[in-house]
Amino acid sequence: MTAFTRELLIFLHLLGAIAWFGGMFFAYFCLRPAAAETLDPPKRLPLWAATFGRFLRYTAAAVVVIAVSGLAMLIETGFRTAPTGWLVMTALGLVMMLVFGYVYLALYPRLSTHCLASAWPAAAIVLNDMRRLVAINLVLALCTVAAAVFAR
């Protein structure tokens, strides 16, 4: 692998991580309180369904980019010689991807279905489950970046 290829991989890896982490931060700390403050459930829940529909699709692309670029760099260095932080990052990254997969494939379709049926209490329960999982992934993302940077 040339030095340029390696730089390109880390560039893509960081773009993916920034989009995913930053998107979750914005959703959790900015959009969530603002929507709760200003919108009633019949407006707020469809807004979330429409927002997640877009965010989760972009995040799926980011997850593929992060996994492919990360594994390519890790395999080139070798698992045995890789710094501990990289292995911790890989493990945490995989857990984050599983959590993401569950939100995207199991919870989001339920949120959409409940919103289409105007079943607001049921939609609110699913949205709250999604909120908890996003909070978990935010903490995991923080730990992943810390592992990447501090355990080199």
Taking the C-alpha atoms of residue 61 and residue 16, their distance in angstroms, rounded to an integer, is: 8
Q: Interface with ligand HEM includes 145 (CB under 6 A)?
A: yes
Residue closer to ligand HEM (CB basis): 8 or 117: 8
Residue whose Cβ sits closest to ligand HEM: 70
- Residues 9-48, mask of contacts with ligand HEM (x by CB under 6 A): -x--xx--x---x---------------------------
Min dist CB 17 to ligand HEM, Å, is: 4
**How many of the other CB atoms lie within 10 Å of CB of 89?**
24
* Whether 138 contacts 68, CB under 8 Å: no
* Whether 126 contacts 111, CB under 8 Å: yes
Q: Interface with ligand HEM includes 137 (CB under 6 A)?
A: no
* Whether 100 contacts 109, CB under 8 Å: no
Taking the C-alpha atoms of residue 106 and residue 96, their distance in angstroms, rounded to an integer, is: 15
* Whether 112 contacts 49, CB under 8 Å: yes
For 59, the token pair is 């995040």
Q: Interface with ligand HEM includes 115 (CB under 6 A)?
A: no
Min dist CB 55 to ligand HEM, Å, is: 15
Report the residue from 15, 39, 60, 67 that binds ligand HEM according to the rule CB under 6 A: 67
Residues that bind ligand HEM (CB under 6 A): 10, 13-14, 17, 21, 66-67, 70-71, 73-74, 86, 89-90, 93-94, 96, 141, 144-145, 148-149
